[in-house]
Structure 1
Amino acid sequence: MPHPRPDFAAYAHAGLPGLVTTAHLLHGDPDDPGDLGNSREATELVRRTLVEVCARWRRIPRDDVDFYVRRLLVEEYLRGARTRRGKTVPHDASRAVSARQRAVLVLLHWEGLREAEIAQLLGCSTGAVRSHARRGLTVCGGDAERLRKRFAAAAAAPAEVAPFDTFDVPLDAVERRGRTLRRRRRGVVMAVWALLLGPAVVFGAGRFMGAGSTDGSDGGVAAATAQSPIRIVAPGERVDAVPGVQVWLTADGKHWSTPERPNQFLGPEGGKPGVSARPDHVRGGYFLSGLYHGLSADPARVEVTVADHRITGTVLTLAGSPGWGVWYAPTSLSLADLKSSFADGGPAVTVYDASGKVVVRGGGYA
């Protein structure tokens, strides 16, 4: 398996100045959105974010790295803000910009993201993003153009762009911590999944004998422009996904059967868009599938990143564009792939529309 360092190292060096500036803007004075904030807190935020990025690097889609890094940065910032909330009280709580409002303002008026992109990043609705932006901007004076200028002026401070090692987050230390974190998570998750899936997960081996592959070679990467095979099915129509697995849809959700576990069911969730993933043991291999829901546009491509593999999934949906459906990988998932993906929290699943725009991201194991 190729070592992740060269790819991660190049990204970390190239992206550090922007990451540091955003971290400083997030940690600024709540009454001064242009303030660059506490240097030590911002540096620690960058360090924690890069450790997480390194630990998850193999499962982050290479054409979507910026989104995942921003999401990790903001998640770490909001987590820290919740910890600090009980320790400090604003001098005027009615005028203070909340941590979530500040994150929205920085992403909207500094990073230049659209409201829909921020909603995906924060895991909330566009309406919630709009509300946070409006309330935060009101506290900051109500002038969006002035706020953007204050952010730009703060970011232009010469002290904020410096060599990597001056931020006390040397790359070697970040990668060592990232690898340690990966190994620790692998041990915990493997223990849990050994209990859930039984001996098949621990001792099973081999691959499916089914059709299809990522790109015609083992461990290959699917072409970024490859479209998913999409099949519109009637309610209850059985589809032989791979030998031994049948999948069918009804109005209430996804049904599937394997030799080990017949007649399984999963219904689409309401609310915000999402996409899930899960493995099923079949004939010494693992069948990977999931359910997408809450989409406003029909999917054109489902891309699944598992360990070092990038797979274009097959899509099943009912007629009438119900906004939900099923994806599945037409290839086997080996025991080695499964173990490797455990360390990263499961596969990363990205759903694109016909224009190539991301409509939902998700994954893990349901």
Structure 2
Amino acid sequence: MDADTAFADFVRARSTALLRTAYLLTGDRAQAEDLVQEALLSVYRSRGRIREPAAIEGYVRTTLVRTHISTRRRRSTTELSLERIPEQPREAEEPIWAGETWPAVLALPARQRAVIVLAYFHDLSEVEIAGVLGCSTGAVKSHRARALAALRGVLAPTPSWPGSGGRR
């Protein structure tokens, strides 16, 4: 089997899973589709250098996450503030996390969200996440700790005790 056929077979078999990961990273179906397309195109261009066909998914996932992070960095300097948020069409599929969790995950910075998605959706270890993000395991631990602290702060605010002035 040549590299083109192997890649086409991979895309047919794994495109739904890749789209789901991209959706978890972006929170928007159209952006997720664009992100998957961009990642697949990037890996397709270098498919001849991939020695092990079974490793294609790892390359695509890594490219997906890194492209998302770099795109958010570039976009954040060119975004325009709007006085009113335009109406968003309802997503066809339900989010993976229900209730208040999903908006809280979407509010996380790109790297923190990537760590949460890779750790809890893909069940990757800290070493594997570090490889995908191109950072140290210490940075992964730091991103995860900050993300979980932010999620706890939003999802389970600290109760104020009577007579404590709001402190515990």
TM-score by length of 1: 0.33
1:80 and 2:79 correspond = no
Secondary structure (helix, strand or coil) at the match of 1:112 reads coil
Structure 2 residue 142 is the aligned partner of structure 1 residue 131: yes
Q: Which structure carries more relative contact order (alpha carbon 8 Å, separation 6+)?
A: 2
Amino acid at match of 1:65: I
- State yes or no: 1:58 paired with 2:35: no
* Aligned twin of 1:20: 19
Contact 2:3–2:48 (Cα < 8 Å) also in 1 = yes
Q: Distance in 2 between matches of 1:4 and 1:55?
A: 11
Whole-angstrom CA distance in 1 between matches of 2:56 and 2:2 = 18
Equivalent residue number for residue 97 of structure 2: none
Deviation, structure 1 residue 89: 8.5
What are the ranges of 5 or more consecutive residues in structure 1 without an aligned counterpart? 29-37, 91-95, 144-366
Going by fraction, where is helix more abundant, 1 or 2?
2
Equivalent residue for 1:106?
117
Letter of the structure 1 residue corresponding to residue 34 of structure 2: E
User: Is 1:140 matched up with 2:130?
Assistant: no
Q: Which amino acid aligns with 1:138?
A: A
The equivalent of 2:32 in structure 1 is 42
1 CA distance for matches of 2:47 and 2:23?
24
Distance (Å, rounded) in 2 between the aligned partners of 1:124 and 1:110: 20
TM-score by length of 2: 0.70
May I ask how many residue pairs the two structures share in their alignment?
A: 128
Paired with 2:61 and 2:45, the residues of 1 have a C-alpha distance of: 15
Per the alignment, residue 228 of structure 1 pairs with none
Largest Rg, 1 or 2: 1
Following the alignment from structure 1 to structure 2, what is the Cα–Cα distance between the partners of residues 49 and 127?
A: 26
User: Percent identity among equivalent residues?
Assistant: 39
Alignment of 1:265-344 (within 5 A): none
Query: Per the alignment, in what secondary structure is the counterpart of residue 113 of structure 1?
Result: coil
Structure 2 gap segments, 5+ residues each: 82-106, 155-168
RMSD (Å), alpha carbons:
2.1
**2:141 aligns to what SS in structure 1?**
helix
What secondary structure sits across from 2:47 in the alignment?
A: helix
